[in-house]
Amino acid sequence: MQVLLGVIFHFIGGFASGSFYIPYKKVKGWHWESYWIIGGLFSWLIVPPVAAYLTIPGFAEIIQGAAFPALCATFIFGVLWGIGGLTYGLGVRYLGVSLGSSIILGLCMVFGAIIPAIYYDFSPVAGKDTFSAMVGSTWGLTILAGLLLCIIGIIISGKAGVMKEKELKTAATDPHGAETSVEYKFGLGMFVAIVSGVLSACFNFGLEAGQEMATVANETWKAANPGEGEFLYRNNVIYVVLLWGGLTTNFIWCMILNARNKTFGDYTNQKTPLLRNYLFSALAGTTWFLQFFFYGMGESKLGNGPSSWILHMAFIILVANMWGLVLKEWKGVSKKTISTIIIGIIVIILSVLLVGYGNSLHV
């Protein structure tokens, strides 16, 4: 039952991440950098401490009492994760939307799931699974098989996307819906995609770096609620610090774009529906944060960092592809292309089931 709840929580989080950009499509008359940073202020600055305040008594004191190196590491990983997200667009530009997205998401999934487990081989932490424990057990090998299967699903989905781009010959859009100019440069594109994929995985590294704070929140809650299991909301205190890092990167870049494109006027432009734009940007930003709100709940039920990250990424990819079908983004392509994307989705679903089964074997 705990595993099932964990998978459900990860699905809700993946649904939020795969859907958060839809409110942005209702924003009118603003440039990307303007609505992105307004939404980001809710995602990274406003909503995280509100969520922590509502779920973790004394969260500010927990942050204040954390070791300075842990706070710095959590923040820096947030900054690096922000850079990974911003270089996503460059990978798409030089490799195309589908190939670039597939490589970046695949690398993000692999590095985010495996590197922390390898780290715990060299620096063991109670309650954290090591990579050697995974490869030496049935449950661990099952989870790794699920990771491999999900990567295969990403590759198939990427292939379908390449077929779609060739058939429709329309302007490319990235997974967030922004138009993207494609300028194929394979060597440079691969380098940028690798950098983006590795740095994007830093979000999971940041979660691991901030576990000291989550542990305090968890132990405090368990002492006050004996016999009720793990604390569902323990990760919320980490997000406050981690997302400050993401905000720093994105804020600097968006301000640079505002200055370069002379778009500071967007925020007060009376010719645009200002209230509507602010509300939909806030909704998008809040929805984005919900992915990690539920991620923390899922991880508390599964108790396994690698499998939680795999499930999180798999559900994001799955939901994003499903929205593409629902919104008829694949309208006009051949049956072969439709069949390819459906196969990719099915393979990703099977990977989710396999990872969930692996967790059920974990004692």
Looking up tokens 């008594």 gives 57
The pLDDT of residue 176 is 47
Q: What is the DSSP string of 314-332?
A: HHHHHHHHHHHHHTTTTTT
Question: Which tens digit of pLDDT belongs to each residue from 86-128?
Answer: 887 666 666 665 566 667 777 777 787 788 788 778 777 666 7
**Buried b / exposed e across 5-28, counting CB within 10 Å, b at 16+?**
ebbebbbbbbbbbbbbbebbeebe
The pLDDT of residue 266 is 96
Give the residue among 251, 205, 200 at the shortest CA–CA distance from 81.
Answer: 200
Q: In angstroms, what CA-CA distances link 174 with 89, 289, 331, 348?
A: 7, 20, 17, 20
In this structure, what DSSP letter does residue 172 have? Answer: E
Question: Which tens digit of pLDDT belongs to each residue from 319-352?
Answer: 877 777 777 767 788 889 889 888 988 888 888 8
**How far is CA 81 from its chain centroid?**
10
- Asked if 73 contacts 163 with a C-beta cutoff of 8 angstroms, the reply is no
The pLDDT of residue 35 is 93
How much is the mean pLDDT over the chain?
Answer: 84
- For 226, the enclosing helix (H) or strand (E) is none
In terms of pLDDT, which residue wins out, 237 or 163? Answer: 237
**Buried b / exposed e across 333-357, counting CB within 10 Å, b at 16+?**
beeebbebbbebbebbbebbebbbe
Q: What angle do CA 127, 133, 134 make, to 5 degrees?
A: 100
Tell me the H-state helices in the chain. Answer: 2-19, 32-40, 47-55, 59-65, 68-95, 97-122, 131-135, 138-168, 186-200, 202-209, 211-224, 236-261, 274-302, 305-326, 335-361
In terms of pLDDT, which residue wins out, 146 or 47? Answer: 47
On the CB side of 147, CA atoms within 13 Å amount to 24
> Is the confidence at residue 186, as pLDDT, over 70?
no
> Is the confidence at residue 255, as pLDDT, over 80?
yes
Q: N- to C-terminal Cα distance for the chain?
A: 13
- Asked if 309 contacts 112 with a C-beta cutoff of 8 angstroms, the reply is yes
Question: Which tens digit of pLDDT belongs to each residue from 273-305?
Answer: 999 999 999 999 999 999 889 988 888 787 656
* Residues in CB range of 78: below 8 A, 6 or more apart: 202, 203, 206, 241, 242, 243, 244, 245, 246, 247, 248, 249
- Asked if 307 contacts 355 with a C-beta cutoff of 8 angstroms, the reply is yes
Q: Could you count the other beta carbons within 10 Å of the beta carbon of residue 87?
A: 18
Burial label, 123 (beta-carbon count in 10 A; 0-12, 13-18, 19+): exposed
Q: Could you count the other beta carbons within 10 Å of the beta carbon of residue 170?
A: 11
* Residues in CB range of 84: below 8 A, 6 or more apart: 108, 195, 196, 197, 198, 199, 200, 201, 202
The pLDDT of residue 48 is 96
